[in-house]
């Protein structure tokens, strides 16, 4: 290939990359526009918003809407803000994510390294559970929670999310452990290691990428869930998403849009932080168990 042809190819490649980056930047700006509007209006006085300046930068910056949304906004009967509901969500999400991840890892371990009769059928049922709509399980789950004495409680919500998320975590770990060398498990058995010792000392330490995937997936789904929280929680155990809805619906008189925007951002911050900190490991973890070698 001549030098002229090489230069032309390089210039064409640069033009193509530049055009691609510009298109991606345009899509990113379009996607981030609603969030930017929420942030801008959450630090404005209400008079600027109602005056028709929703798209403009604040003339008078204020963080009072954030303080009010967190601590003093009227939600239901008492002006508690979102703070107590934030901790309700934390108390629900942390154990639900931990339990569903550990159980999913154990299920994936059993279904790949301790095969038994009808294991494929059982996994098929668990996989089918991933595609069951939320609405279908509301009445049976409400009945089970009532019989177990967990209705309207945080442990009841933890149980609901563990059961519903178990199919996904089992799928992730089964695919990941599928390519883990079975010879190492057999060698550990010959050396006298038992079921749980092999799991804790051999498989679990190598499961970092897929654990990140499971935690991100479960954390996002559970934190953002509204239907289960609205259906199975009592007022004292309502998660943040339900409280945010009540914040908007219980406002009387003038709608405080700046407080609503601040509350929505507060509700979204935990999942946003999770993706910022660990999002790059999500795709890496999904791909880690897809290629042998």
DSSP per-residue letters across 57-100: PPSS---HHHHIIIII--BTTB---SHHHHHHHHHHHHHHHHHH
The residue ranges of every structural domain in the chain are 83-240+267-292
Dump pLDDT digits (tens) for 187-221: 988 888 888 899 998 888 888 889 999 999 999 99
Mean pLDDT within 144-162: 92
Tell me which of 3.30.43.10, 1.10.3720.10, 2.40.10.220, 3.40.640.10 is the CATH number of domain 83-240+267-292: 1.10.3720.10
Q: Say what the pLDDT of residue 2 is.
A: 53
Q: Read off the pLDDT of each residue in 269-278 and give the average, rounded to a whole number.
A: 86
Distance CA 114, CA 104 (A): 15
Can you tell me the distance from the alpha carbon of 132 to that of 227, in angstroms, rounded to the nearest whole number? 14
Give the pLDDT band (50/70/90) at residue 10: low
pLDDT tens-place string over residues 104-148: 999 999 999 888 888 889 888 888 888 888 888 889 999 999 999
């Amino acid at each position: 290939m001549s030098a002229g042809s090489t230069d032309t190819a390089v210039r064409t490649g640069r033009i193509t990359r530049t055009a691609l980056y510009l298109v991606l930047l345009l899509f990113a700006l379009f996607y981030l526009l609603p969030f930017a509007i929420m942030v801008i209006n959450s630090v404005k006085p209400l008079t600027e918003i109602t005056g028709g300046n929703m798209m403009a930068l604040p003339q008078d910056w204020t963080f009072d809407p954030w303080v009010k949304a967190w601590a003093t906004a009227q939600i239901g009967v008492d002006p508690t803000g979102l703070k107590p509901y934030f901790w309700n969500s934390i108390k629900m999400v942390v154990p639900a994510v931990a339990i569903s991840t550990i159980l999913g890892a154990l299920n994936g371990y059993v279904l790949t390294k301790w095969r038994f009769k009808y294991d494929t059928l059982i996994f098929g049922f668990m996989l089918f559970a991933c595609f069951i709509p939320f609405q279908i399980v509301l009445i049976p789950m409400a009945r089970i929670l009532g019989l177990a004495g967990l209705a309207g409680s945080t442990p009841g919500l933890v149980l609901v999310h563990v059961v519903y998320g178990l199919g996904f975590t089992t799928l992730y770990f089964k695919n990941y452990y599928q390519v883990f060398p079975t010879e190492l498990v057999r060698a550990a058995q010959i050396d006298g290691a038992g079921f749980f010792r092999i799991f804790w000392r051999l498989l679990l330490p190598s499961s970092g990428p897929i654990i990140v995937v499971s935690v991100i997936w479960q954390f996002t789904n559970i934190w953002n869930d509204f239907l289960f929280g609205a259906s199975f929680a009592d007022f004292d155990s309502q998660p943040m998403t339900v409280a945010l809805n009540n914040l908007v619906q219980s406002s009387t008189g003038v709608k405080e849009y700046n407080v609503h925007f601040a509350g929505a951002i507060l509700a979204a911050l935990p999942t946003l932080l999770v993706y910022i900190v660990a999002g790059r490991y999500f795709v890496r973890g999904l791909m880690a168990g897809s290629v042998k070698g």
